[in-house]
Structure 1
């Protein structure tokens, strides 16, 4: 239950921060990178909220695969066309392909995996130690 709540809190915080970057920051490389990283964090939080018992490896792999898939989907031109019809779709699918985003997704996904695995390992060790005492 604690991991599910963590996922919900992280997803909500990432969405709020992402909207702040999207709506309030100047359109620069830094704001683009921040938005990409927050997108990955939001996806991670959503997956953890939906599947709290899933392994850190599985969550991390799905997060990176989803993010890369969305970026590659932009090569079809559909997200930019859809954005012309309904602008908020940009927040989910972006608009145009940017190879740099793939690096941001991989680095952020790896950082989230390490954090998740470390925290889960720490709780597991603490639980095992308290059970033997």
Structure 2
């Protein structure tokens, strides 16, 4: 039942999720401040990374995407220990947004929250799509159950 059409729809969905996640992050920053905004932003950063991983590899299972997203987020956070992201961020707003600047250990936990939040939503969406395809296949073959 896996075909190339599914991966195309998966990429479109991942792109939409990425855009919505950026919007959610900006929205949180607009209405909240302090730790709420910071840690919500950390979790949403990993949700964005999750969506970007799906954009590149739409057939990965939710657990694999969650591990990859959390791992990439952790790698960026740990990279901040080198001082390179801070230096790059002084020269480029884009680098500052993507790489951050200063290591903060609690961020590591919030990245896990983001990945752990995205994975069940992704798994549920996969189940919905698959159940819809299964029903469509049954109807197309003319063997749909009689519901009268």
For this structure pair, what is the TM-score category when the shorter chain's length is used for normalisation?
Answer: 0.7 to 0.9
Equivalence for 1:108: 114
How far is 1:127 from its partner? 2.3
Equivalence for 1:8: 15
Is 1:93 aligned with 2:99? yes
How far is 1:129 from its partner? 3.8
How far is 1:20 from its partner? 5.2
Equivalence for 1:33: 39
TM-score, L = length of structure 1? 0.85
Is 1:52 aligned with 2:58? yes
How far is 1:126 from its partner? 3.3
Q: Give distance in 2, aligned partners of 1:65 and 1:115.
A: 19
CA deviation profile, 1:56-95 (whole Å, cap 9, x unmatched): 2221111010001111111111111211222331111111
Provide runs of 4+ in structure 1 moved above 6 Å.
none
Aligned residues, how many?
132
TM-score, L = length of structure 2? 0.77
How far is 1:25 from its partner? 6.0
**Contact 2:90/2:96 (<8 A) preserved:** no
- Who wins on radius of gyration, i.e. which is larger? 2
| SS class of match (1:128) | helix
Equivalence for 1:82: 88
Q: Give distance in 1, aligned partners of 2:127 and 2:23.
A: 29
Unaligned runs of 5+ in 1: none
